[in-house]
Chain A
Amino acid sequence: MSFHLILFLAFGAVCVGGAVNLLAQRHPINSALSLIAVMAALAGEYLLLGAEFVAAVQVIVYAGAIMVLFVFVIMLLNAGVEEETKGSRIALLFGVPGVLTSSVLMVWVVLRHSVTEAVPIGALPGHPTDIAQLLFHDFLLPFEVTSVLILIAIMGAVVLASKPEATARKVG
């Protein structure tokens, strides 16, 4: 029971708890908070894996920006407790079993074939400089493409969320 393993288990426990809580909670804001917890814990896992930069970005982008957006929307729409509707039988009849079977299969594969391999703590110090080298040199084209994607997303969001009459005025 090494220090590393303890930390891993601690963060993992937070992750699992948060994930389960996300499913269990019926109010979106609670789900959002549990998701934030998951993300923070994941950042911890990244630190364990030595990916400090990724961890920081995880916190800043996911927990700090994206989830803030979620919370913002939840607050804006004042989303209440989700009401119980008949739902969809298919999702329950096919989906859940499908997920379970596939996850069981995956677990089987993982356990059968990669138990022995192990990662030391801080195995790969993701120094920002190296990552930058990769990001801006080796993966330059994907990087630019993602920037375009972001731009498009911004415009789409503006168009979608702007009030209909406002857009009408803009168009007309």
Chain B
Amino acid sequence: MNPMLNLWLIPLLPLAGAAINGFFGKRSSRKAVTTVALFFSGAAFAMALWVAMRFSSLSLPYQEYFAHWLRSGSFSVDFAFYLDQLSLVMLLVVTGVGFLIHVYSIGYMWGDPSYYRFFSYLNLFMFFMLTLVLAGNYLVMFIGWEGVGLASYLLIGFWFTKDSAASAGKKAFIVNRIGDFGFLIALFLLIRHFGSLNFNQVFQSVLPMSAETSGAGLLTVIGILLMVGACGKSAQIPLYIWLPDAMEGPTPVSALIHAATMVTAGVYMVSRSHVIFERAPIALTVVAIIGTLTAFFAATIGIAQTDIKKVLAYSTVSQLGYMFMACGVGAFSAGIFHLMTHAFFKGLLFLAAGSVIHAVGGEQDMRKMGGLRKKIPWTFWTMTAATLAISGIPGFSGFFSKDEILWRSYQASWVYWLVGVITAFITSFYMFRLWFMTFFGEYRGEADTEHGHGGHSASDAHGGHGHGGIHESPRVMVIPLVVLAVLSVVGGYVGVPGSLGGNNRFDKFLGPVFHGSAPAKEHSTALGEKGAPEQETEGPEPQKAVSTELMFTGISVVAAFLGLGLAWQLYYRRPELPDKVAASFSGVYEVVLHKYYVDEFYGALFVKPLINFSTRILWQGVDQKVIDAAVNDAGDGAKHVSDEVRHMQSGNIRSYAGWVAAGSAVVIAFMIWMWTGAR
């Protein structure tokens, strides 16, 4: 039997930190707040590591039951945790990256007046995220799901005095709600048809079912609805619009929540429910298509962005698209693999970007940067590592994961692969564009004296750093950068594909979760072209496959280097070219610059009609003319009636007695009548 791991400690530690900081942080010193926040998040990380060490000795999936939550009839939900390879990976990523970002935030947020609030929120986020990851059933997962939404809302709107921040937070929350709507309906369907939300029971009852190859069935519907939820949380088309705005939050938040952990919750959720998806090929296709489209689409937007964080945001969206593409083609382990590496290098990118912004005094526009290579070497080098990683330059973590995805997607359908490769090219292009614009050429910003005065420091956390001069960030910020840099370099080697002489250990590790759960063979042939059969990744692969895989690897590498070259051409050797290009393609450029006017489109299509509807019908119509009217009329009616009846209540005791007597006479008469009638 399993030893008691006390998993519940892992989420509860950050919660305790959040509570302590939230209640007492206002009065306690920054040092105290720092200590608390670091201690609890670090403790969670240590605990996760300890669990990882004990992991081999566990019989999986390891489950912990704490208490009954709901009970109605046969349906019951418990507070239960569920640990297997998948959630272990997520656990390590969340706690590890989270802890690093905590450390980073100390330096970054030091000058902020509501320092304690930030860390309280951050810890709270950790709590919810861990709950989500460790949940033993969909409902507990949903708690975490909503909780991270809340935390992200709070943190995006951290500088709520800034209107854009506040509205960005609202936007994120509302868009997420749309996704949660789908998620909830999926949960209801699960309850309705499987009578339970526990992963075990649901999956046990799903496993024997055969794949719905012919037309959409229950599982398909559930899958698509789950995907809707995932779209909301993981910023996929059509619900990705909140993520770029979310960059209004402090950069560590963007790094932790909107790059590393929260936005990947959707991927986690989809791959957690892989049993369902594998039996719903149509849903899988939907996932894959959405992922592919998002990847490409967001990447193209990324090209034209000039705000450094916006670029990163769109790249995040597109990377998430990659992950969903992987899930969509049934390569869940590849998706999770990319999730992990992405957590490393994208977190690093954001942190480094934050460090850059920090250095130039709150400026976020890349056109006002440049030539920072010398001034902030640590940031430069770490950022370089991250850029190489994300662009899929061989040897870096991103390369392995992205390559894995591309290869598996090719096995599903060459279309995915093609789009994927193009996206890879674009990715490396805009990443290196960012890289060149930021660190090379000569500095295009204002004079040093301008740095970090009110306006800028208000625009991002730079309160304490009023002094001029572009300067390297303090050590407390640099160390996490370095650690993450190392991780994003070596992080990929856990999953070196067989074709490159490795034996995909990561895939093997996750194997027990994903493999063997696929529907029976004849179905898998039935879904031959799409939803790659899991078996292919197991064991040494056939030679032909190896050679082709190598070829495709080569192609993607070439694409990456092409992107690099183009960026070098445009933004390093001949910096004037881009404007020309933009001018020549002004129409396209405008469209891309304005993100394909998606926000405006949504505004015109949904938001404005909704507002008008609510104003005209709901507010002025229903609320004022029906509800308020009803209430008021009820009040007036009561008043009028009582004005009449009041006279009955003369305050004369004997009159009351008279009424009582008359009434009792009536009652007695009635009773006797009934009684005589009865006999």
Contacts and interface: CB of A to CB of B under 8 A. Distances in A.
Given A91-B655, A98-B662, 18 more contacts: A88-B652, A90-B654, A90-B658, A90-B659, A91-B654, A91-B657, A94-B661, A95-B660, A96-B661, A98-B661, A98-B663, A99-B661, A101-B665, A102-B664, A102-B668, A105-B669, A105-B672, A106-B668
Contacts, number: 56
A105 B670 CA distance: 11
B650 interface: yes
Contacts of B672: 105, 109
Nearest to A92: B658
A142 interface: no
Contact of A102 (B657, B658, B669): B669
Contacts of B664: 98, 102
Interface string A95-119: 1111101100110010000000000
A72 B672 CA distance: 42
B668 A105 contact: yes
B658 A95 contact: yes
Given A94-B658, A94-B661, A95-B661, A88 B650 contact: yes
A87 interface: yes
The 10 closest A-B pairs by CB, nearest first: A95-B658, A98-B665, A98-B662, A91-B658, A94-B662, A102-B665, A98-B661, A95-B661, A91-B654, A90-B655
Interface residues on B, range: 10 to 19
A161 interface: no
A93 interface: yes
Contacts of A97: 662, 665
B665 A88 contact: no
Contacts of A102: 661, 664-665, 668-669
Interface of A: 87-88, 90-99, 101-102, 105-106, 109
Contact of A95 (B650, B657, B666, B668): B657
Contacts of A99: 661, 665
18 contacts: A88-B652, A88-B655, A90-B650, A90-B654, A90-B659, A91-B654, A91-B655, A91-B657, A93-B658, A95-B657, A95-B659, A96-B661, A98-B658, A98-B662, A98-B663, A98-B666, A105-B672, A109-B672
A21 B185 CA distance: 79
A101 B667 CA distance: 11
Contacts of A87: 654
Contacts of B657: 91, 95
Nearest to B653: A88
Contacts of B661: 94-96, 98-99, 102
Contacts of B655: 88, 90-91
